[in-house]
């Protein structure tokens, strides 16, 4: 009896320490998590050399980090930031999207006035008046299957990198509901276009066919029936990885495995906010950029990063049947309004509305480090 009481007390004690108000820090990655945890954040802003605080998009490749801001493209090399703007030949200062062509290393930059190819310092611009670009307002750019794809305010364009021929896709020649295209994703044999108000259209480039995925509810404000299709038609982002297509909207998150949809809403899942700006799939998981923080999930387990009310950062780990585990972090995102992400093997770069963030993944068994740059 006495031994049982003592063991139970110990368990209770441990539970209390590990409870919601526990001050335990440390972001080691338990073996069962399907995604890495961020150990610490570094933040960069105007004082570090960024041309503006608001960062729309970010891309990390080959040791360099590119970021698109309201005042130009910025590149971080060797720890220093360098801005490339209209003075250097960029078509516009508002940079909305970035993509690298893995075949050549060229960077493609979408802006609010056209598309740019940045290659070894030379900038070549494409506008709707000088080329077959459907519209100057470029929301998303992607290099896939030997072509550059652009999602614009008046349709999706495809530039064949060998023949230099442009093809245009909008509501007149596809199943798109309307021409305002916002997001792009690629699977091994498909191209996905997120249409603003038109759900997702899927393109088979070999057959030339299109297929549409729309919110079956037709209800703009609620998800009437869960898991019946895309959660909403206003698609802000699409991303594909490992057989899974993820859709971000301003009204929740969806996931499609080729036959079944799964929808995620704030009040029905650990999703921190339905207002999602961007989604980046990696493996079986997706990193979700919301207006109230950054989340990552495989659909079952969630980790959310945001500011803590008392200051500093907060990691909320949610596992089925285990409630939410909250951990303080010594560092935090510069801002919870997260607009974009670029996920690497050891880290993640994030575009926020007030700075660029670098999240360093924890190695197994390491403790959380304090703020640092």
| 121 touching another protein, by CB under 8 A | yes
Residue 13: how many CA atoms within 13 Å on its side-chain side? 6
Distance CA 249, CA 245 (A): 13
Q: How far apart are CA 315 and CA 41, in angstroms?
A: 12
Comparison of 102 and 364: residue with beta carbon closer to another protein: 102
User: Which one among 161, 171, 186, 299 touches another protein, defined by CB under 8 A?
Assistant: 161
Decide: is 106 part of the binding site for another protein (CB under 8 A).
Answer: yes
Residues 137 to 156 in contact with another protein, rule: CB under 8 A: 154-155
Tokens matching residue 157 = 């364009």
In the set 168, 238, 314, 357, which binds another protein (CB under 8 A)?
A: 168
- Rounded alpha-carbon distances, angstroms, from residue 355 to 41, 136, 343, 349, 350: 12, 26, 17, 11, 9
Query: How far is residue 130's CA from residue 111's CA, in Å, rounded to a whole number?
Result: 15
Q: Does 195 bind another protein (CB under 8 A)?
A: no
Closest approach, Cβ 131 to another protein, in A, equals 6
Find the binder of another protein among 130, 160, 220, 224 (CB under 8 A): 130
103 sits near another protein (criterion: CB under 8 A): yes
Binding status of residue 172 toward another protein by CB under 8 A: yes
Please list, residue by residue across 229-253, b when 16 or more beta carbons sit within 10 angstroms of its beta carbon and e when fewer do. Answer: bbbbbbbbbbbbbeebbbbbbbbbb
H or E segment and range at residue 5: helix 2-17
- Torsion sign, CA atoms 222, 225, 231, 233: negative
Supply the minimum distance, in Å, between the C-beta of residue 119 and another protein.
6
- Using CB under 8 A as the binding rule, whether residue 226 contacts another protein is answered as no
Query: Which range binds another protein by CB under 8 A, 26-34, 98-106, 283-291, 311-319?
Result: 98-106
Residue 205's φ and ψ, nearest 5 degrees, are: -70, -20
Provide the minimum distance between the beta carbon of 349 and another protein in the complex, in angstroms, as a whole number. 22
345 sits near another protein (criterion: CB under 8 A): no
Q: How far is the CB of 163 from another protein (least distance, A)?
A: 8
Contact footprint for another protein (CB under 8 A): 103-106, 117, 119-122, 124, 128-132, 134-135, 154-155, 161-168, 170, 172-173
């Amino acid at each position: 009896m006495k031994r049982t009481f003592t063991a139970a007390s110990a368990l209770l004690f441990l539970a209390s320490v590990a409870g919601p108000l526990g001050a335990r820090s440390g972001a080691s990655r338990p073996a069962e998590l399907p995604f890495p945890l961020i150990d610490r954040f570094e933040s960069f802003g105007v004082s570090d050399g960024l041309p503006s605080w608001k960062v729309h998009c970010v891309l990390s490749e080959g040791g360099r980090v590119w970021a698109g801001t309201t005042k130009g493209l910025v590149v971080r090399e060797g720890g220093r930031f360098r801005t490339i703007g209209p003075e250097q030949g960029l078509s516009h200062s508002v940079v909305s999207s970035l993509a690298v062509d893995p075949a050549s290393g060229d960077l493609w930059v979408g802006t609010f006035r056209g598309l740019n190819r940045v290659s070894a310092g030379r900038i070549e611009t494409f506008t709707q008046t000088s080329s077959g670009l459907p519209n100057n307002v470029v929301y998303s750019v992607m290099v896939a299957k030997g072509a550059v794809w652009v999602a614009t305010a008046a349709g999706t364009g495809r530039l064949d990198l060998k023949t230099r021929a442009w093809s245009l896709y909008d509501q007149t020649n596809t199943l798109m509901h309307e021409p305002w295209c916002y997001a792009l994703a690629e699977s091994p044999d498909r191209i996905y276009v997120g249409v603003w108000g038109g759900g997702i259209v899927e393109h088979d480039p070999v057959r030339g066919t299109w297929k549409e995925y729309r919110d079956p509810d037709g209800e703009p404000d609620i998800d009437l029936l869960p898991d019946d299709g895309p959660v909403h038609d206003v698609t802000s982002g699409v991303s594909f990885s490992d057989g899974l297509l993820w859709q971000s909207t301003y009204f929740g998150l969806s996931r499609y495995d080729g036959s079944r949809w799964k929808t995620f809403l704030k009040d029905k899942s650990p999703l921190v906010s339905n207002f999602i700006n961007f989604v980046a799939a990696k493996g079986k998981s997706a990193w979700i950029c919301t207006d109230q923080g950054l989340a990552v999930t495989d659909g079952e387990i969630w980790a959310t990063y945001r500011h803590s009310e008392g200051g500093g950062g907060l990691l909320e780990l949610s596992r089925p049947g285990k409630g939410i585990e909250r951990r303080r972090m010594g560092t935090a995102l510069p801002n919870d309004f997260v607009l974009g992400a670029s996920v690497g093997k050891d880290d993640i770069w994030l575009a926020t509305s007030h700075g660029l963030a670098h999240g360093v993944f924890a190695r197994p068994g390491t403790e959380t480090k304090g703020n640092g740059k």
